[in-house]
Amino acid sequence: MPKTEHFQWYVEEFAPTEFHHHAIDELYYAGRTAFQSVAVLRTPTFGKMLVLDGDTQSSQHDEKIYHESLVHPALAAVRDRGEILILGGGEGATLREVLRYPGVRRCTMVDIDGEVVDLCKRYLPEWSDGAFEDPRARLIVGDALAFLKEDRGTYGAVISDLTEPLADSPSFPLFNGEVFRDIRARLAPGGVYVLQASTAGFHNMALHAKMARSLRAHFTHVASFFTHVPAFDNDWAFIACSDAVDVAALDGRAIDAYVDELRGENYFYDAQTHRRIFSLPLYLRRELAKPGDAFV
């Protein structure tokens, strides 16, 4: 292993006082699209990585932890898996996971940034693994906000794989009460809205708690869950929302039956993992129960 000074570094800043340094083996691409800055690089520990606006989006060696968590608890819970909608999802790995369920008739993915999607197809084809060529996939390059206003379809699950709602991100306009109502209106009976929902680390969960508080005003069941994602160097949180089903309380046998139907083998998610990721520590439950500001 070469010494530290032989590397160049990708430094992810979590806060002005917290950084994670990733050594760079190879930089494939660095540039700006109309919407965000993009880097595609390879690190010794995590393999290839997609970085948008300085934030790691996923890494080759642990992306399945993130993408299986985002997709499968929700899909295991919904009544009808025929039509699925993904908001964002640039790399195509969320699409890949959805299409592993043979009963999906169509999965629509709406990402604002066609350049990011093309860069992922070119440099990170392992993520989508052929999903974009699946006849059941419908890719729309456009703003998910506009799509939700115009679309009249209904979906068993709406999966939000957007960048974090930071003030300067193109995803920020998708986090408010009006959009949550639009999403709710797009859900088929028994449907679930699931979203990647920022960090749940003990030191940095304010944004996640704000998201959960906001969603509780719109859905009967709002269940936070999280797992450690090593490339993010953090506990990563998700939220499953529904008026019909409490995803946290899903029966283990129903999960096993769903997982058995998936094409190929899971890396991370099964009934035991489900119990673990929905079992929240006291400090997080306390934070989630506190009053505070919300996306309105």
Q: What is the DSSP letter of 162?
A: P
Q: Does 171 participate in binding ligand SAM (rule CB under 6 A)?
A: yes
- Kindly write out the interface string for residues 107-146 of this chain, putting x where it contacts ligand SAM by CB under 6 A and - elsewhere: ---xxxx--x--------------------------xxx-
Query: Residue 174 and residue 163: Cα distance in Å, rounded?
Result: 10
Query: Residue 100 and residue 118: Cα distance in Å, rounded?
Result: 22
Q: What is the DSSP letter of 7?
A: -
DSSP string, 16-51: TTEEEEEEESEEEEEEE-SS-EEEEEEETTTEEEEE
For ligand SAM, the closer CB: 171 or 214: 171
Catalytic residue positions?
A: 161
Query: Residue 117 and residue 114: Cα distance in Å, rounded?
Result: 5
Q: Does 91 participate in binding ligand SAM (rule CB under 6 A)?
A: yes
Amino acid identity at 61? H
Q: Does 170 participate in binding ligand SAM (rule CB under 6 A)?
A: yes
Radius of gyration of the chain (CA): 18
How many CA atoms lie within 13 Å of 63's alpha carbon, on the beta-carbon side? 26
Tell me the closest approach of the beta carbon of residue 145 to ligand SAM, in angstroms. Answer: 5
Tell me the closest approach of the beta carbon of residue 284 to ligand SAM, in angstroms. Answer: 19
- Kindly write out the interface string for residues 68-87 of this chain, putting x where it contacts ligand SAM by CB under 6 A and - elsewhere: -------------------x
For ligand SAM, the closer CB: 204 or 246: 204
Q: Which member of 62, 68, 161, 287 binds ligand SAM (CB under 6 A)?
A: 161
Contact criterion met (CB below 8 Å) for 236 and 246: no
Query: What three-state secondary structure class fits 199?
Result: strand
Which residue's Cβ has the minimum distance to ligand SAM?
A: 90
- Kindly write out the interface string for residues 186-225 of this chain, putting x where it contacts ligand SAM by CB under 6 A and - elsewhere: ----------x-----------------------------
Contact criterion met (CB below 8 Å) for 257 and 101: no
Q: Does 163 participate in binding ligand SAM (rule CB under 6 A)?
A: yes
Query: Residue 131 and residue 154: Cα distance in Å, rounded?
Result: 22
Q: Does 158 participate in binding ligand SAM (rule CB under 6 A)?
A: no
For ligand SAM, the closer CB: 179 or 255: 179
For ligand SAM, the closer CB: 36 or 242: 36
- Point out which residues bind ligand SAM (CB under 6 A): 52, 57-58, 87-91, 110-113, 116, 143-145, 161-164, 170-171, 174, 196
